[in-house]
Amino acid sequence: MALDRWIALILLGICLTYGYTAWFTMDASLAPFMKRNPIWPSTFPKVLSVLATLACLSILLGLEKSEAKEPEIDYRRLHEYKLGQAVMLLALMAAYALCLRPLGFLISTTAFLVLGSFILGERKWLVMIPIALTATGVVWYLVQEVLGIYMRPLPGFLGG
């Protein structure tokens, strides 16, 4: 079986588990007054699980195949790709998730954007830092002030 079908099979298992959770376990804990609403908190996960299951099944059954072509990523030549960058970005994402509460949104996100662009090859610090600061500030303002969702901007010891 081809690599894409193995990945689709694994994703199908994840989607079926997610769908089971959305269809059966999420609705059991709803408050009585919410059970009369037309849209429940589990509506989007239900739709998402159905669409993802259909996509995985279409890959497993080969419905998306039109013609045989050269694969874009050859798993036999995996050593030729920039796996170091990918692994470092994944580690940076995990570190970002762990540092978000203790360091606050502004410091964590700015550091993530600057270090992420550095890992990907950008070396112009005078471009990276202002863009990261601006993007972080705009996102924080939109989430905090426009949407009204509280995000700790700074660490606790700095008054966050």
How do the domains of the chain map onto residue ranges? 3-71, 80-158
- pLDDT of 1 reads 63
Pairwise CA distance, residues 71 & 62, whole Å: 15
Of residues 136, 92, 94, 81, the one with CA closest to residue 116: 92
CB atoms within 10 A of CB 113: 19
pLDDT digits (tens, 9 = 90+) for 80-96: 778 888 899 999 999 99
Say whether pLDDT at 111 is over 90.
Answer: yes
- pLDDT of 83 reads 82
CB atoms within 10 A of CB 89: 15
The confidence band for 69, taking pLDDT boundaries of 50, 70 and 90, is low
Question: Which of the pair, 99 or 158, is modelled with greater confidence?
Answer: 99
Pairwise CA distance, residues 123 & 143, whole Å: 30
Pairwise CA distance, residues 54 & 46, whole Å: 12
Question: Which residue is listed with tokens 């039109």?
Answer: 66
